[in-house]
Structure 1
Amino acid sequence: MTTLALIALGVAAVAPLALAAPRSPRWMSQWAAPIVVALALAVAALAASATTPVTGFALAATLVLCVAAATTGGAPLVLAAFRIARRQPDAGSDQRPDAGPLRGGRIIGLLERAAVAASILAGWPEGIAVVLAVKGLARYPELREPHASEQFIIGTFTSVLWAIAVCGTGRALIT
């Protein structure tokens, strides 16, 4: 079961990269990637719940795969959350928001998920507060633009919840 959990974590880490290839159809990166990533994490979590704690190479592989899956796997989920949010009508507004006012979000999201995953796996959950505080302070001047705060909250919550879910699966393998 440990091997299955590690393979599923690897799929969660690699699937967004493979399904977002330049030649792949658009629907694959938009909807197939988040579905595959979520299913891979579900398989990893089920397998992790039925195994004994890992040691040695399996422990190192678990840590590396958790950080990789948290970092890359969250990107398609954040984009899917943005697409779902854009489909919801705003109260009193018939306009659809544009792509969003916040720039650099993909790189910031990758770094955010990696930092959250590393702090959880290191047993330092306070690190999540540090990451969110730094991100909030850095983005504060931009949050006054239309739809910026909505994009900030949706992206941050999706990223952090994904990283926590992946690391929870990793912790199930470790302990």
Structure 2
Amino acid sequence: MVLTIEIAAAALIISAGAGGPITAWILRLASRKHREEAAERAGDPTGEPRPDPAAEQLRGGAWIGVLERLAITGSILVGYPAAIAVVVAVKGLGRFPEIHGSSGVSERFIIGTLASYLWAGTIGVAAVAALGALP
């Protein structure tokens, strides 16, 4: 019983804690590629990083990400993955005014959300597999 609680707690901590840096890394990769393409089109050989207006518009994303990863991993751990649909709906409806009509913001939203969800789902499934392997 104690090992079950420890595995579940570790999964939630890893999902919430490590998911942020992983999602940020994926967003940096995506925005770097976007900056390089934009610099080529504009004839700017430096490709110097500039502030990302999409990142500024989607404030609070780090805290939202922690909560969504906890919810997704937790729903998998308790055996109710259908709750993930609620997380997706709440996030989409809550962010709709900010992402509506802005391709840069909506692209950042989609990439960050999918990276975060994939991380949380992977950790949840791995934890369930670890729990299933217990005697």
Question: Shorter-chain-normalised TM-score: which range?
Answer: 0.7 to 0.9
Aligned pairs, number: 120
Equivalent position SS for 1:147 = helix
**Aligned counterpart for 1:117 among listed residues 73, 84, 88:** 73
- Preserved CA contact (<8 Å) 1:66 1:170: yes
Which residue number corresponds to residue 164 of structure 1?
121
Q: Percent identity between the aligned chains?
A: 39
**Aligned counterpart for 2:98 among listed residues 138, 142, 148:** 142
Runs of 4+ deviating beyond 2 Å: 89-97
**Aligned counterpart for 1:132 among listed residues 80, 88, 93:** 88
Equivalent position SS for 2:23 = helix
From the superposition, tell whether residues 133 and 59 of structure 1 become closer, same or farther in structure 2 (CA, over 3 Å).
same
**Aligned counterpart for 1:98 among listed residues 40, 52, 56:** 52
Higher relative contact order (CA 8 A, sep 6+): 2
Q: List runs of 5+ in structure 2 lacking aligned partners.
A: 43-49
How far off its partner does 1:90 sit? 6.9
Query: TM (normalized to structure 2)?
Result: 0.81
Q: List runs of 5+ in structure 1 lacking aligned partners.
A: 1-55
Which residue number corresponds to residue 131 of structure 2?
174
- Preserved CA contact (<8 Å) 1:113 1:160: yes
Q: 2: CA distance between counterparts of 1:98 and 1:113?
A: 24
Which residue number corresponds to residue 14 of structure 1?
none
Write the deviation string for residues 70-121 of structure 1: whole angstroms up to 9, x where unpaired.
1111000011001100121379743767152211000000000000011111
